[in-house]
Amino acid sequence: MMLFAMKVPNYHALAQILGSQGCRRFLSHSKPLFIPSQRRIKSLNPTKLTSSDYLSLAGVKYPHIYTLESSFRLRGYTRKTIFPEHAHGFLYYFIPPDEQEKTLQIRFRVTDSDSPESFESGSDLLLPDRSPWFFSLNEMKGGNDYSLIREMLIRDGVLKEAQLQALHPKHKRTIRTLIPSKLSSSDYMTLSGCIRPTIYFQGSTSIFAYTRRESSIPFPDAAHGFLYFHAPAEDPKAAWQIRFRVTDSDSPESFQSGSDLRYPNGTTWFITPSWLSESSKNVCALRKVLIHDGYFDSLVTKEVRRSSGPMSVPKLHALGQAFRVDLHKTHLDLQFLGPTQIARIRGMRTPFGRWWVGSLGRQFSVQPYAGEVLCCFEAYKTPSNTQPDTLVLRLLKFLSPITVAQPEVAHMVPMPQEGGLAMKYTAKAGDLLISSHDFVESRPWMFPAPTVVHPVIQALIRGNTGK
């Protein structure tokens, strides 16, 4: 038998050829043939850190972190972006001050040197939304990565073996029902800090996320409570949802005094029933529990399947139902849900822009304002009618500060007012809407006439939903 010696690459020579960022990218996408000193750590305990625990993650999407025994792949900064250029410092364990040990997190402290003394004066690495970057032991389901971190925490004296095992009891998110009146303390679960939690029902699993658009965002710290099926009899079946009720204990009696989990913008987190009709292993447990609860046959109707679409598309079944609008977007997509029909609105111009056609027939638009608003539709009576005959848009709440992004054209669109209606200016005939003198007065923006005649929308206006 012949033995061959593999020449170990020189990290510093490689850095001279590829540059430091190129070298880091090369290492992050290749199998670990050697242990670069830049990512070889011995401790996660802030009181035991040494200069050898100093890491540089800048410019890498999924860094390999090396320990004394082996290596593991670190979760990314976000799903689509690399770690920022200032990501130099120390990985460390962190337990939120008002939480139990089961929410133990691994964070990254940005420092200005590799000295352990710089830890105290440093600051945690933040995500674009200014929340701390971290991952929790709750989101790790075993395997090599979890084993390495577990051994480091035991060696650091952070937690004992029994405590670490308690963080990951087998099938700890096992549910029996989604019917609120039948919930028990065994249906209580913690989603806090999890990115893609798994739930169990009769041997099947389901995996879901806090957001679909950015799947690396963890559930918030307050996410302790019960999954349940929100199915008001007066709502169309396509509007039924799986929600999460945040409670202050595992007692089913706390359900009534709890509140639904929400996004930072105030809208409710939910799983749409149309998602459960997908042929994906990620929905097996939820589909089975709804069959067990006697709901699933109601969710496989043609109307429910037709209501599928991006989670960002508001699905409205009543006037006054709140949804989010980005003022800088030029168009809106909506779905109005009726008992047997769905009105799909695609590419509707928002009230917060202005459009005109140039001399060569080219269409132009301006969106002078930026920010997010929580809105709802209301029935409205035009001067020529005695009964409500159209819809207007009420600006319920500003979710972020409203700024003037294009001051040179802000005179073309009325400034949004919190609590007021979305308004638009009327213009002199034939003008190209360039000067503020072109506008006569403001009036409420109204739903486009060709669309408002849809039977589902007319039923909402008349208050006759046929439910």
Q: What is the pLDDT of residues 194-242, one digit of tens each?
A: 888 888 887 778 888 888 655 568 898 889 999 999 988 877 777 788 9
Q: What is the pLDDT of residues 154-166, one digit of tens each?
A: 788 776 654 555 5
Average pLDDT on 45-74 reads 86
Q: Give me the pLDDT at residue 361, please.
A: 67
Q: Give me the pLDDT at residue 34, please.
A: 40
Structure tokens at 259: 């509140």
pLDDT for residue 118 is more than 90: yes
pLDDT for residue 25 is more than 50: no
3-state secondary structure of 25: helix
Q: What is the pLDDT of residues 235-256, one digit of tens each?
A: 777 778 899 999 999 999 999 9
% of the chain beyond a pLDDT of 70: 73
Tell me which H or E stretch contains 13: helix 11-28
Phi/psi region, residue 19 (left: phi>0; alpha: psi -120 to 50; beta: rest), is: left
Of residues 156, 140, 159, the one with CA closest to residue 68: 156
Structure tokens at 230: 């929100």
pLDDT-based confidence at 307, cuts 50/70/90? very low
Residue type, 255: F
Least confident of 273-277, 286-290, 292-296, 431-435: 431-435
Q: Mean pLDDT of all residues in the chain?
A: 77
Half-sphere exposure of residue 434: CA atoms within 13 angstroms, side-chain side: 5
3-state secondary structure of 421: strand
Q: Give me the pLDDT at residue 202, please.
A: 78
pLDDT-based confidence at 70, cuts 50/70/90? confident
Bigger pLDDT: 1 vs 208: 208
Phi/psi region, residue 24 (left: phi>0; alpha: psi -120 to 50; beta: rest), is: alpha
pLDDT-based confidence at 322, cuts 50/70/90? confident
Q: What is the pLDDT of residues 351-410, one digit of tens each?
A: 898 877 666 667 778 889 999 899 999 999 988 888 899 999 999 999 888 999 888 888
pLDDT-based confidence at 39, cuts 50/70/90? low
